[in-house]
Amino acid sequence: MDHKNQKRITLKNIKYMASLSRETHCYTADIYFDGVKCGTTGNDGHGGCDDYQPLACGERVNGKRRPVRQKCWDAMMNFVASFDSTTSTLGGLAAISLQPDLEWVCSDLINEWLALKELKKFTSKRVIYTIKGKPGIYQTKTIDAVTRERWAAEIGRRETTDQVLNAMPIPDALALFQERTA
């Protein structure tokens, strides 16, 4: 997602259930806006819309009772409403204008969280890299940490290697991983 300051909205305490995800992601999460918890979201994974719940009056946050976070919730919704609409063509059909909403934002955040989880799983056991002029992501077999470090350096020196994701900063590696596995 390329919306200005989109990172003002974050999801924490994500619980994802892949086995229950049939048409949509099955998950629950806390929604934070500018670092303040203002509600929860989730989806049962059967293709319906996400559920949203602003933080209730008197709900405990970090062991303390908090007043209604309605101002925080309203500020977040106004922030989302300020996103520019996106024009899309689906399967060669006429262009349509789509207005991003909170569900769009949360879906992107869940997808990013899942991609990061997958990237960490791969880079913890293999060397992940790209090859110049070829699409996709390449990987070694599962190897131990010492061998992985040595192989990452060797693969990085090859003329055909474009990038070694293990050696990149996580945000850059994640962006490349998402781009090449989309």
Indicate if the pLDDT at residue 1 is higher than 80: no
Closest CA to 11 of 102, 96, 90: 102
CA-closest candidate to residue 102, choices 169, 35, 36, 32: 32
pLDDT of 54 over the 70 cut? yes
* Inter-residue contact 96 to 87 (CB < 8 Å): yes
- Predicted local confidence at residue 67, as pLDDT: 60
pLDDT digits (tens, 9 = 90+) for 55-92: 865 556 666 666 656 778 888 888 888 888 877 666 66
**pLDDT tens for residues 114-124?**
999 999 999 99
Give backbone dihedrals phi and psi of 102, rounded to 5 degrees, phi first. -60, -35
pLDDT score for 3: 46
More confident residue, 160 or 68: 160
pLDDT of residue 59: 59
Contact criterion met (CB below 8 Å) for 41 and 28? yes
Residue 2 confidence class, pLDDT cut points 50, 70, 90: very low
Count H helices, E strands: the chain?
Answer: 4, 11
Of the candidates 96, 55, 76, the one whose C-alpha atom is nearest the C-alpha of residue 3 is: 76
pLDDT band at 175 (very low <50, low <70, confident <90, very high): very high
Stretch 161-176: mean pLDDT: 94
